Amino acid sequence: MVAKRLRLKCQDMLMLLALVLLVPLAVEAQTGQMRLQGRVSETVALSVPPNLIQSNVHTDVVNSGNSVRITLSGANTEASVIRVPLLVRSNTSFKISAAVETRASALSEISIEDVRANGTLVSAAAVSNLNVLRKFDLSGLNTSASSARNLLDDVLVLNGPRVSLGGTLDSRNNALQITVLIDLKPQPDHEWSIHLTFVGTPE
């Protein structure tokens, strides 16, 4: 009988000890806080939609993440104006630089003709606060008809605030559309070509 009482007391003590140890843990679990911290990488993406460049010259476009390379070429001597719809998506403020290589003095001028939001997920500030830094008048530059020459090399064209409020790099409603106007005046009796590269980077 005494042994039975001792066993009951031991069991009571163990239960009490377990209760003392578990209650603070339960309270801590109920009142504890968890904080998760993370960072989304800064992204600037450039692209030109296929089949949207209308011109009478041969056009080739290569989209590659944060850069677009446009190649124009031909043998005709007629002056042409080409409009390139450059799409910009970014989750941070950005800048765009340009590099130009030309043959046979084909390129006369590069300028920004129009800027518009291409959907509801474009920040209003992306249009109103875009800063176009310069227009490139290249008509006074002399280039050899037999060799290519770099006229511009990573020259800053424009900068601006964050563009995209959501979506992905393939969404149709989160891009800023910048229309780049390219004025061509080829030399007579020469085949000509232009390589125009735009690169976007976080600012």
- Give residue-wise pLDDT tens across range 117-159: 999 999 999 999 999 987 776 665 544 444 556 667 788 999 9
What's the predicted TM-score (pTM) here? 0.74
| Domain 44-202 belongs in CATH node 2.40.50 | no
Percent of the chain at pLDDT > 90 equals 40
Q: Among 2-6, 18-22, 104-108, where is mean pLDDT lowest?
A: 18-22
Q: How would you label 75-88 residue by residue, b for 16+ Cβ within 10 Å and e otherwise? A: eeeeebebebbbbb
Q: Pick the residue with more confidence: 47 or 78?
A: 47
**Cα separation of 182 and 136, whole Å?**
10
Cα–chain-centroid distance for residue 103? 29
Q: What is the mean pLDDT of the chain?
A: 78
> Taking the domains of the chain in order of start, what are their residue ranges?
44-202
Q: Is the pLDDT of residue 175 over 70?
A: yes
**Cα separation of 117 and 59, whole Å?**
25
**Cα separation of 144 and 161, whole Å?**
39
